[in-house]
Copies of this chain bind each other. A is one copy, B any other.
Amino acid sequence: MYYFTEEFEEKIRCFTAAAAMAAPWKPLLLNAIQTNSNLKHSSFFQLATIGSNGRPTNRTIVFRGFENVSDRIQINTDCRTSKVEEIKHCPFGEICWYFTDSWEQFRINGRVDIIDESDPDPLKLQQREKSWFASSLKSRLQYLGPSPGLPCISEETSSSHEYSLDPSSGPVSAFCLLVLDPDQVDYLNLKSNERISFTYKQDGDGNKRWTSKKINP
């Protein structure tokens, strides 16, 4: 009898810990993704980073899903883009994701991890490979093109038509996976005029957990 109680208590403890760890903004985001899924651009958001000159920079990015079952956000990019260099200098980013149909905005701030081919962690390399194969062949071909942001030498080089790639080949050198680990999320619903601020921080017991509060829109 005592044995079962202890096991049960342990389960409750695990469940409570998991619930405390779970990101309470994630169901809101999943719902917005679902509600707006009829629009191609609903998987696009803007990622702000800090440029090498200390000024903010900002560009449109495609959402590539969450890392496994976590709340970490995946982005595919070319190692040769300036944002990768920028993130090496200042490893923080803020996503602004506005859903044009449901009028919801998520501002997601966190540390960005760069996973390129030189990463020493085999699990991260596996994640990079998974993301490579999850993207379309057309997307993959872009990484074979000339260096993004450099002067255009000829009309032809800007097109990916001339490149070919074996669909079973793994990620090329230029392919890079960025993983944003959120620790601050600001949710705004312009239809209900509600705004919630979510923060991931240490509680009294030294455990990290998400807290939320309603704030003025």
Binding site for B on A (CB under 8 A): 39-41, 44, 46-51, 54-60, 90, 92-96, 98, 100, 105, 107, 109, 145-152, 157-159, 193-195, 197, 213-217
User: What does DSSP make chain A's interface, helix, strand, loop or mixed?
Assistant: strand
Contact B41 A96, beta carbon cutoff 8 Å: no
Chain B residues, Cβ within 8 Å of A107: 57-59
B98/A100 in contact, CB under 8 A: no
Given known contacts A46-B58, A58-B58, A105-B60, is B96 in contact with A216 (CB within 8 Å)? no
- From the candidates B93, B193, B216, name the one contacting A56 in the complex (CB within 8 A): B93
Q: Assuming A92-B56, A107-B58, is B98 touching A152 (CB within 8 A)?
A: no
- Given A55-B109, A216-B152, A44 and B98 contact (CB-CB distance below 8 Å): yes
Taking a contact as CB atoms under 8 Å apart, the answer to whether A193 and B57 are in contact is no
Contact B41 A98 (CB under 8 A): yes
Q: Which residues of B contact A49 (CB under 8 A)?
A: 56
Q: Which residues of chain B are within 8 angstroms of A195 by Cβ–Cβ distance?
A: 152, 158
Contacts of A51 in B (CB 8 A): 94
CB contacts (< 8 Å) of A47 on chain B: these are: 58
A109 interface neighbour in B57, B197, B217, Cβ under 8 Å = B57
Which residues on B sit within 8 Å (CB–CB) of A109? Answer: 55-57
Residues of B within 8 A of A55 (CB): 50, 90, 92, 94, 109
